[in-house]
Amino acid sequence: MNKKALGYLIAGLIFVAFAFIYYSPFKEKAKKVEYIHNEGQTQGTYYSATYLQPEGIDLQKKIEDRMHAFDLSLSTFIPQSIISRINQNDTTVKTDSDFETMFKEAMVVSKHTNGAFDITVGPLVKAWGFYGNVVHKKIPNVKEILPHIGYHKVRIENHKLIKDDPKIIIDANALAQGQSSDIIAKLLENNGCKNYMIEIGGEIVCKGLNKEGKKWQIGIDKPIDDSTNTKNEIQTILSITDRGLTTSGNYRKFYYLNGKKYAHEIDPRNGYPVVHQLLSATVVAPTCIQADAYATAFMVLGIDSSLQICKSIPGMDCYLIYVDDKGKNQVIYTDGFKKYLNP
C-alpha cells in the first residue's frame, strides 16, 4: 500500500471513530429543558410565573429582586418609596423610569377617557372605605374631597412631580400590577425566554406557547357577588398569546348600607361609586399596563362608552359582562375579541 493510500485510510478511520463517538447510542442524551414555575407574594397579592428558559435556569431571584425595585418606586405601603415620599410632599425626591412610565400611561388614559381614569382618586376610594384589603362601610363628605382630585393638577418636570395642590395623593394601584407584569415579561425576554405567562394579582402577560405547545388558556370569572372571594365560576376560556390581559369588576369589593350596594369603582369626576349595568370588563391590549388602566376606566364609563373607546385604540379589545333589564347576565365584546374565544 503506497503512502498516499495509507493516508486516506488513516483519515477515514479517524472520521469513522469521531462519528461513532458523536452519534453513539451510548452517548448521554441531551437534557430536555422543562417549563419552570415560580410563585410567591408581592404588592399585597400573589404572583405566578411560568416560562421556558433555554438553559433551564430558574429566574425566581431575579424576578423577585426586580419586583422589589419596582415597589421602591410605586408601592404606597413602603414609606421610603418614591410615590410615598411624593405623597408626603418631599420636594427632594426624583421620579425614576418606573414612576414615569406609570405616569405617562395614566395621563394618556385619563385624557382618552375624559377623566374616568385618574391616579389622584385614592382619597375618594379610601373615604368610601375601600382602601386596602379590609372594606369599611361609610358615606364620606364628597364635596370636601373633590377639590383635591384631578389628574390635570399634577405633572412631571425635570424628574420631579409637581402638584397644584399639596393635598393631592397619587395612587398607582390601577396600573401597578399590570405594569409589573410587563416588567417581569421584559426580564424573562432579556434572559432568553420566548414562551411564558406572568400573572400578578390577576394581571396577565403571555407570549409564545404553553408546555402543550398551544396558546395560553386563561379563564374569565363569572361575575358573582362575593365579598369573601371564595366563589369562583368560569364564564369562558380564552386562547391567547403575545398580549396583556386584565379583568376589572365590581362583584368582589362592595358593601350594602341602608339597602343600597356600594362597589369600589369610584367615578373621579363626581366622587361617587358607579351605578350602572356593567359587572366586569376584560381588556386585551399590547401591554398589561394599558389593559389594566382601561379595564378600570371601563368600569366607570359603562357599556356604550367603553365599546366606543376600545374600538378606537389599535390592538385593544374588550369583553363586557353586564346585567340586562330582566336581571340576567349578558355579554358583549368587540369584533376583534372573537379570535381569543375558544370554539
Residue 24's pLDDT is 43
Q: Please, are residues 183 and 66 in contact by the beta-carbon 8 Å criterion? A: yes
Give the C-alpha separation, 332 to 318, whole Å.
9
Q: Tell me the whole-structure pTM to 2 decimals.
A: 0.87
The 10s digit of each residue's pLDDT in 281-323 is 999 999 999 999 999 999 999 999 999 999 999 999 999 999 9
Task: Tell me whether residue 118 is in a domain.
Answer: yes
Q: Please, are residues 180 and 290 in contact by the beta-carbon 8 Å criterion? A: no
How many structural domains compose the chain?
A: 1
Q: Which of 100, 120, 107 is nearest to 168 (CA)?
A: 120
Task: Give the CATH number for residue 229.
Answer: 3.10.520.10
Q: Please tell me whether residue 244 adopts helix, strand or coil conformation.
A: strand
Residue 138's pLDDT is 84
Q: Please, are residues 102 and 175 in contact by the beta-carbon 8 Å criterion? A: yes
Which domain does 147 fall in, by range?
36-340
Residue 342's pLDDT is 75
Task: Tell me whether residue 11 is in a domain.
Answer: no
Give the C-alpha separation, 250 to 158, whole Å.
38
Instruction: Output the CA torsion 19→21→24→26 (10° steps).
Output: 180
Q: How far is CA 63 from CA 29, 128, 173, in A?
A: 31, 35, 20
Mean pLDDT of 61-78: 96
Task: Tell me whether residue 31 is in a domain.
Answer: no
Q: In the structure, what pLDDT confidence band is assigned to residue 230 with cuts at 50, 70 and 90? A: low
Instruction: Output the CA torsion 326→330→335→339 (10° steps).
Output: -160
Task: Tell me whether residue 21 is in a domain.
Answer: no
- How open is the CA angle 338-275-341, to the nearest 5 degrees? 10
Structure letter (DSSP) for residue 215: P
Task: Tell me whether residue 187 is in a domain.
Answer: yes
Q: How far is CA 143 from CA 184, 271, 272, in A?
A: 40, 8, 10
Looking at per-residue pLDDT, the higher value among 133 and 169 belongs to 169
- State the CB neighbour count (10 A cutoff) for residue 7: 10
Instruction: Output the CA torsion 18→20→25→28 (10° steps).
Output: -10
Give the C-alpha separation, 126 to 87, whole Å.
15
Task: Tell me whether residue 52 is in a domain.
Answer: yes
Task: Tell me whether residue 23 is in a domain.
Answer: no
Which range has highest mean pLDDT (4-8, 9-13, 220-224)?
A: 220-224
Mean pLDDT of 131-159: 90
Q: Please tell me whether residue 321 adopts helix, strand or coil conformation.
A: strand
Least-confidence region, from 38-42, 169-173, 252-256, 323-327: 252-256
Task: Tell me whether residue 183 is in a domain.
Answer: yes
